[in-house]
Structure 1
């Protein structure tokens, strides 16, 4: 972009190329103690999943040991992990939640 000032000077500005933020996948991990209904409730509350989608993810966690809850920018993913872990601990469940770069 070129800007011409009244005094005759010309200023050029480089267009800054912003790269999109790194995205992170958030996962729940299976354990033998956290009730399935609690996992469904977590998915609905923290990942805005409807009951059907939450149930499908919970079954994937149960069957495969790990299920993806969503993909978010790093700070949002990190916050979701912390909220889930805090909620699970307060409820007395060992549910694990983690994130990894997409």
Structure 2
């Protein structure tokens, strides 16, 4: 039976199966006057698993435009990444701000 045709219930009648799509959000890093560019690149590589060249480009967007998109994730994963960024920044005493916005 294909997913489009529905599923058979215990009584043998066909029912439609509702598919739930998880909410997707963007993770955004914001520019500030204190966090170093090197630290931002390190965060992009370690938390968001970006290659060095892409991390450099995102860091430049953050520096020039005031913010940069780190990625689009389900809400739970995105919230975890925001917490990881804030924890790393706090340990290094940087005021780096990371936020979520709807995708």
Normalising by the residue count of structure 2, what TM-score does the alignment of the two structures yield?
0.88
Equivalent residue for 1:70? 71
Unaligned runs of 5+ residues in structure 2 are: 1-6
Q: Kindly report which structure 2 residues correspond to 1:22-33, keeping only aligned pairs within 5 A, or say none.
A: 22-33=23-34
**Bigger radius of gyration:** 1
Q: CA deviation at 1:19?
A: 2.9
Corresponding residue pairs, total: 97
Unaligned runs of 5+ residues in structure 1 are: none
Q: Kindly report which structure 2 residues correspond to 1:1-102, keeping only aligned pairs within 5 A, or say none.
A: 1-2=7-8, 10-102=11-103
Distance of aligned partners of 1:2 and 1:48 in 2 relative to their CA distance in 1, 3 Å threshold? closer
Normalising by the residue count of structure 1, what TM-score does the alignment of the two structures yield?
0.89
SS in 1 for 2:94: coil
SS in 1 for 2:71: strand
Segments ≥4 residues shifted beyond 4 Å: none
Deviations 1:10-56 (A, max 9, x none): 43242312131110000000000000000000000011101100000
Equivalent residue for 2:4? none
How far apart, in 2, do the equivalents of 1:26 and 1:2 lie? 40
